[in-house]
Structure 1
Amino acid sequence: MDIDTRALLIFAFIGIVAGFVASLLLGGGGGLLRYLLTGIIGAFVGGYLFDVLKIDLGFRSKIVSEIVTASVGAVIVVLLARIIA
């Protein structure tokens, strides 16, 4: 397995976990694909917002930090989708 495949799998894992966490916090079901899409979009939104607001979570583990960032972004995305709908 080369580095690109490994990075893609890690990114997908983070997206799925973040989407699942957002669904736990806000309610609502969904399958693996929905968790993945919500988490990936949330990762971009959370990463952008944390960068603009200069927020550093202070976790030693990079993957935990990325999961939290993506989860916060996924919650924002779900809330915005509910407001628009």
Structure 2
Amino acid sequence: MIAAVILALGVTGWVHYHLAFQVRGTVQLWAGRIMLLLVGAGFGWAMSQVYTDTHGLAASWVFVTSFGVAHLPAAIILWLKKQRDKN
């Protein structure tokens, strides 16, 4: 479980770091970051409170992991754009 949390937080950090290189303008950058944070928080809450029967620390682990998983589509898109720009 610790590995999943570390990986999820790594994906989240990677996405928010690389957004600055792909998004033009401060307003668009912060709008994208806030949107990702809200979607991640919503998905984390839903997974930890609604879809799993966890309580206490286990619910926190599920929340953080789900929060990172919500950032995975953005990470894939940013990685593909980075690969395209290399060529």
TM-score interval (norm. to shorter): 0.3 to 0.5
Higher relative contact order (CA 8 A, sep 6+): 2
* TM-score normalised by L of structure 1: 0.41
Rg larger in structure = 2
* TM-score normalised by L of structure 2: 0.40
